[in-house]
Amino acid sequence: MKNSRNITLLLAIGALVCACATQETRHAAVSHEGGHAAHWGYEGAGAPANWGRLDEKFATCASGRMQSPIDIEYARGGQGQALRFDYKTGASDVQNNGHTVQVDYAPGNVVVVEGQPYTLTQFHFHVPAENTVAGLRYPMEAHFVHADKDGHLAVVAVMFQEGAPNAALESLWRDLPAKAGDKRSVPAGFAAASIYPTDLKYWRFDGSLTTPPCTEGVKWIVLRTPVSASREQIQALAKVLPGPNNRPVQPTNGRVISG
């Protein structure tokens, strides 16, 4: 019975994160006024500079003091505790939600951050990257979104540099969902951990979701070592998106970056 309750709780958390954190996953959000949709995006009236005015639920996008992404210019503290991953298979589907291409996960894949376990709910991509490193912007970035038992979020970010084809992405890229709303199954045996670099040293800071409602209190772990992807792989992802899907870097406002 206890295991059954735990599974039910994790499923509920996963549903909450998919409804909230994957604003990195949703094409529109419903406002308080008459059920109208507050459409957000990356250009025009729905561009990042306007997110805080589109809906009162998005106010933190404009007023927040710990927003993401950021430029990682320097680190004040040393490397934190080593990340501990217990990843298995279990991806349910890959979808194009109109903002990104996202791979959804059932409970069962865990990372331990600062002694706290977080369960992987999904990962998705930004072209170009959102976080920058001393002003350098990589051509692509993946965000692995995790939640703990209380719904607190931790995002592990992986940077991609142009180079050799990425073998871990090949199976996902064979039939990318081409338009918003498209979804397909993930090839059996696909392992999210295969995307990570061998060296798991990281930068650590507190931040927010990088899409509306820009909720703060998110633990960010940006892996320092990039992995490669070919120009063709990066362009293939960009082709199925309406355009660049990166939020501009936000002020650090004195936040400590360790690592």
From the CB of residue 253, how many other CB atoms can be counted at a distance below 10 Å?
Answer: 10
Where b means 16+ CB within 10 Å and e means fewer, 119-150 reads: bbbbbbbbbbbbbbbeeebbbbbbbbbbbbee
Q: Are 246 and 132 in contact, with CB atoms under 8 Å apart?
A: no
* Sequence-ordered list of residues with C-beta below 8 angstroms from that of 180, at least 6 positions apart, any chain: 27, 96, 97, 98
* DSSP character at residue 235: H
Task: State whether residue 111 is helix, strand or coil.
Answer: strand
Q: Which residues pair with 91 in a beta bridge?
A: 105
Six-digit token pair at 150?
């209380």
Which member of 27, 99, 124, 143 is catalytic?
99
CA–CA separation, 182 vs 12, rounded Å? 24
143 in catalytic set: no
CA–CA separation, 181 vs 177, rounded Å? 8
Element housing 183 (H / E): strand 183-184
- What positions carry a catalytic annotation? 99
